[in-house]
Amino acid sequence: MGFGLASSLSGNTLISASGIVMGLGTITIICKAVYNLIFHPLSKVPGPRWNAISSIPLLLATFAGNQPFYLHDLHEKYGDIVRTGPDSLSFADPDAAKELYAERPGAPELRKDPLVYPVSLNGSFSILNAPNHADHNRYRRLLNPGFSDRAIRDQESVVKLYVDLLMQRLRENAARGPQDMVAWFNWTTFDIIGDLTFNQPFGCLEKSAYHPWITAVFQMVKTVVIMSGMGRYPLVKRIILFVFKKKIEAARMKSTEFTKAMVDHRVSSKAERIDFLSYALQQKSDKEFMTREEIEATSTILILGGSETSATFLSAATYYLLNHPHVMQKLVGEIRGGFQKEEDINMLTVNQLPYLQAVIKEALRIFPPVTLGSPRVVEGHGKAIGGIMVPSGTTVNANFYVTSRSSRNFVDQDKFLPERWFDGDERDPRFETDKRSASIPFSLGRRDCIGKNLAHAEMRLILVRFLFNFDLELDERSKDWAHGLKVFSLWEKTPLLVKLKPVA
Ligand code: HEM
């Protein structure tokens, strides 16, 4: 009896204690929500109320693969600056993007948000995620010479080898029915970047198949995007990591071990020509070098950044051209009228096609291959961005899809109109109000794309050779290809089926 009383007493005590904890928890959440909504320094910034009190709406959009479209819709509704979470802001204006990404005297570069750019899978930092400027400068100084105009011209024979192979393989396969151009472009750009980085191709074009490492890296990109989104909720992140530990670890091992093996092989064998690793492996002084782990982490970025992005551009450009026959006709006319024979097409001669340049700019604007933006953190005493004072601790971002699709930045922003980029006498008054600097597919500032010159050379060469050699027709199944795609930092592209008719 006495024991029963004691146990019911302790049971009651337990219940009331847990009630107090829950009550206090609820009060804390309510107080925090009220603070975020009314008293927080960002409380006057426009945005949905749910976003002012919680990061969950943005997270849900990220997990669903809709983040850029979600942000775009918020900006169309609320304006150029939107509060996307209790302590995060999104900007759509190009001047704000400059303030955010480019360094100015007296205004040092903002650091990348470590939640979005976590340490690489091998535990080291790469050129993309290095949190401190000194490390990033060290990597970039070593690698920069490999991306100069001169270096890219020296690499032309490698690029040409694979473009020749692509044309040959497409001719072999054209009669077999519609071809998936997403796959063909991915295989080509992976083979090119594999050879330019490691002096070794991945053999994708030869085998008409993705290399297993590429598949593993793709899976990891998606996981990293989702897990870094969870960074604001460490407990939930831990639970997810615990539940999926085996799967995540297996994918991590697969991608890091393969990169390590590629770097080891490259170091132990004699390179036939200078490649990107030739620059990374230099030890110029005791301060100018990269550790083996930094080289491995950076190699993954070079391969992924240097292939997937260009393949996305080529797929999107093909799709938009096929959906706009008059643009296609004009471009094909410029290409076939400009070259008598295929051998005349090279990295220098493709620069002489003005309509091609306009088409490329417009395809990069309407479908930027990297859709994340480059989220940064404000530190110190805060920073003025877009005309407001942003307090320390705020995550700020100008998403590249948002800036280039904003109706405030471009007239007919959702239409594919290469003529908006015409200059001089040809400048079209319809587009006078376009803010061209809002199209920033390669980002800005010190941490912009190191490979943009190579990307341009590759994109022009492949597109021109493709349209010189083939007449194209979009398969009915791909007529809405660009709509409804998911995005996990990179576009999750579905097959783009195109019928190819070789030009005699
Ligand atoms: C159409 C093609 C391409 C586009 C649109 C593109 C876009 C971008 C963007 C937006 C960034 C900044 C990302 C961020 O801050 O999170 C970036 C960085 C980078 N890109 Fe590209 N890229 C392209 C092609 C290439 C190529 C061909 C390479 C060659 C290897 C390359 C290598 C890199 C590297 C290494 C970085 C990190 C640079 C740094 O942080 O210093 N990219 N790229």
CB atoms within 10 A of CB 209: 14
Residues 6+ apart with CB under 8 A from 8: none
Is any ligand 1 atom within 6 A of the Cβ of residue 127? yes
More confident residue, 94 or 504: 94
CA of 15 to the centre of ligand 1 (A): 56
Q: Please give the structure tokens belonging to residue 215.
A: 């598949």
The ligand 1 atom at the shortest distance from the C-alpha of residue 276 is 30
* Distance in angstroms (rounded) separating the CA atoms of residues 35 and 52: 10
Main-chain phi, psi angles of 212, to 5 degrees? -55, -30
Mutation probe of ligand 1 site: the residue of 449, 458, 459, 462 with most atoms within 8 A of C-beta: 449
Ligand 1 contacts CB of residue 462 (under 6 A): no
Q: How far is the CA of 386 from the centre of ligand 1 (A)?
A: 25
For ligand 1, whether the C-beta of 370 sits within 6 Å is yes
Helix pair angle (234-243, 212-229), 10° resolution: 150
Task: Please write the tens of the pLDDT for every residue from 4-23.
Answer: 545 555 667 767 777 888 88
Give how far the C-alpha of residue 42 lies from the chain's centroid of Cα atoms, to the nearest Å. Answer: 28
Per residue in 330-355, pLDDT (tens digit) is 999 999 999 999 999 999 999 999 99
Please, what is the end-to-end C-alpha distance for the chain in angstroms?
Answer: 100
Helix then strand count (H, E) for the chain reads 20, 12
What's the CA gap between 203 and 183, in Å, rounded?
13
d(CA 167, CA 437): 35
As given in the structure block, the two tokens for residue 430 are 């319809």
Is 450 close to ligand 1, i.e. is its CB under 6 Å away?
yes
User: Could you identify the atom of ligand 1 that is nearest to the CA of residue 303?
Assistant: 30
Pick the closest to residue 402 from 61, 94, 55, 51 (CA basis). Answer: 94
Neighbours of 266 (CB within 10 A): 22
Average pLDDT across the chain, whole number: 91
Q: What is the pLDDT of residue 504?
A: 77
d(CA 294, CA 123): 9
- Residue 2 in this model has a pLDDT that exceeds 60: no
Q: Can you read off the two tokens belonging to residue 451?
A: 């490979």
Residue 165 φ/ψ, nearest 5 degrees: -65, -40
Residues 488-494, mean pLDDT to the nearest whole number: 90
Mean pLDDT for the stretch of residues 261-270: 89
| β-strands 376-377, 111-112 pairing | antiparallel
Picking from 250-264, 265-279, 471-485, which range would have the lowest pLDDT averaged per residue? 250-264
Q: List the one residue out of 301, 310, 314 whose CA is nearest residue 220.
A: 301
pLDDT, mean of residues 57-75: 94
What does the pLDDT look like over 414-425, one tens digit per residue? Answer: 999 999 999 988
Task: Identify the pLDDT of residue 1.
Answer: 41
Question: Which ligand 1 atom lies nearest to the CA of residue 189?
Answer: 27
Rounded Cα gap, residues 430 and 417, in angstroms: 11
By three-state DSSP, how is residue 205 classified?
Answer: helix
pLDDT value at position 3?
Answer: 46
The average pLDDT across 137-162 equals 94
Least confident range from 123-127, 209-213, 238-242: namely 238-242
Ligand 1 contacts CB of residue 225 (under 6 A): no
pLDDT at 250: 74
* pLDDT mean over 192-214: 90
The more confidently predicted of residues 104 and 263 is: 263
Average pLDDT of span 456-481: 97
Average pLDDT over residues 378-406: 96
Q: Map residue 460 onto helix, strand or coil.
A: helix
* Identity of the amino acid at 440: I
Close Cβ partners of 369 (under 8 Å, ≥ 6 residues apart)? 308, 309, 310, 312, 313, 316, 441, 490, 491
Sequence spans of domains, the chain:
55-502
CA separation for the pair 419, 423 (Å, rounded): 9
Q: Check whether 381 has a pLDDT greater than 70.
A: yes
What's the one-letter identity of residue 499? K
Compute the distance between CA of residue 470 and CA of residue 500 in angstroms, rounded to an integer.
6
Cβ–Cβ < 8 Å for 440, 470: no
The answer to whether 404 and 440 have CB atoms below 8 angstroms apart is yes
CATH architecture, domain 55-502: Orthogonal Bundle (1.10)
Q: Is the pLDDT of residue 221 over 90?
A: no
Res 321: pLDDT: 98
Chain segment 394-414, per-residue pLDDT in tens: 999 999 999 999 999 999 999
